[in-house]
Amino acid sequence: MSSCQSQPNAGSSCSTGTMPPAAPFTLPEGTTPLIVSDAAISKVGAMLAEEGDPNLKLRVFVTGGGCSGFQYGFAFDDETKEDDLTVEAGAIKLLVDASSLQYVMGAQIDYEESLEGARFVIKNPNAASTCGCGSSFSV
Amino acid sequence: MSISVTPKAAKQIRKALDQRGSGCGLRVAVKTSGCSGYAYALEFAEAPTAEDLCFESEGVQLLVDVKSLPMVSGTQLDWVREGLNEGFKFNNPNATANCGCGESFAI
């Protein structure tokens, strides 16, 4: 998120841009913005318990980058911004800013553990192609 | 020609082998795929084959087949936490380009 000047779709962290202030995001009725797997809920819950801050939420965002054009990012955030959509899943809450949401609408967030490592992954119906490891995608 | 691991990677490999309950070490191989041409493949090894070279680093056994070795020689395998994710990272002096996540590389 650090080089957001070159990423018009980097989301709400760009406060110096010329974009008009986004309105609070409302979803069409019956839409599921994000599906969160049990493995992801349980892992985020464990990580949050470790952090010890009840205000933390999992922020899911999309930035420019990676070999397929866009890249997913995950971070803990205790601040909800105006254009954020809050998604409740089990005992955890996720935040997605409006610009990122258009790229991940309907996607499934999972947590995978294997010999290579452990990571959050997104299965995204909007992605036309993805990088080998799934951290980058194109639309 | 050899490969090595950092203490953090060694700890992770030992943990994975313990959880699995068997296996002599970690096999590091290279396959042709991924957006940068080659991709790393890691798997447990039960025993070395005739085509393998074995290296010991930080107390763990690493196996590399003779075809893969020239592409990974000098590599130091590390275990890193990046944001909320953690995993093995390949510090490969032969790679001229890497994929965003480091899984794929070019020579």
* Whole-angstrom distance, CA of residue A54 vs CA of residue B43: 38
Q: What pLDDT, in 10s, does the model give residues B14-30? A: 999 999 898 889 999 99
pLDDT bin (cut points 50, 70, 90) of residue A26 is low
Average pLDDT over residues A83-101: 93
CB atoms within 10 A of CB A37: 17
pLDDT of residue B31: 87
Q: What pLDDT, in 10s, does the model give residues A107-131? A: 999 999 888 889 888 888 888 887 7
From chain B residues 23-62, the ones with a CB under 8 A of any chain A CB are 33-36, 39, 42-44
Q: Which residues pair with B80 in a beta bridge?
A: B87
pLDDT bin (cut points 50, 70, 90) of residue A28 is low
pLDDT of residue A6: 37
Query: Which residues have C-beta within 8 Å of that of residue A80, sequence separation ≥ 6?
Result: A57, A86, A95
Q: What pLDDT, in 10s, does the model give residues B43-93? A: 999 999 999 999 999 999 999 999 999 999 999 999 998 878 889 999 999
Tokens representing residue A128 in the block: 């036309």
Q: Do B35 and A116 touch (CB under 8 A)?
A: no
CB atoms within 10 A of CB A43: 21
Percent of the residues in chain A that have a pLDDT greater than 90, as a whole number: 38
pLDDT of residue A3: 36
Residue A87 has pLDDT above 70, yes or no: yes
A2-11, A63-72, B87-96, range with the lowest pLDDT: A2-11
Residue A100 has pLDDT above 50, yes or no: yes
pLDDT of residue B28: 94
Confirm or reject contact between A116 and chain B (CB < 8 A). yes
pLDDT of residue A5: 38
Q: Tell me how many helices (H) and strands (E) chain A has.
A: 2, 9
**Domains of chain B (ranges, CATH numbers):** 4-95 (2.60.300.12)
State how far residue B1 is from chain A, nearest Cα, in angstroms. 23
pLDDT bin (cut points 50, 70, 90) of residue A9 is very low
Confirm or reject contact between B97 and chain A (CB < 8 A). no
Q: Do B103 and A117 touch (CB under 8 A)?
A: no
Average pLDDT over residues A49-76: 86
Please state which CATH class domain A31-138 belongs to: mainly beta
CA B48 vs CA A59, A128, B62, B63, B66: distances in Å: 44, 41, 10, 7, 12
Which residue in chain B is spatially nearest to A135 when comparing CA positions? B101
Residue A69 has pLDDT above 50, yes or no: yes
pTM of the model: 0.71
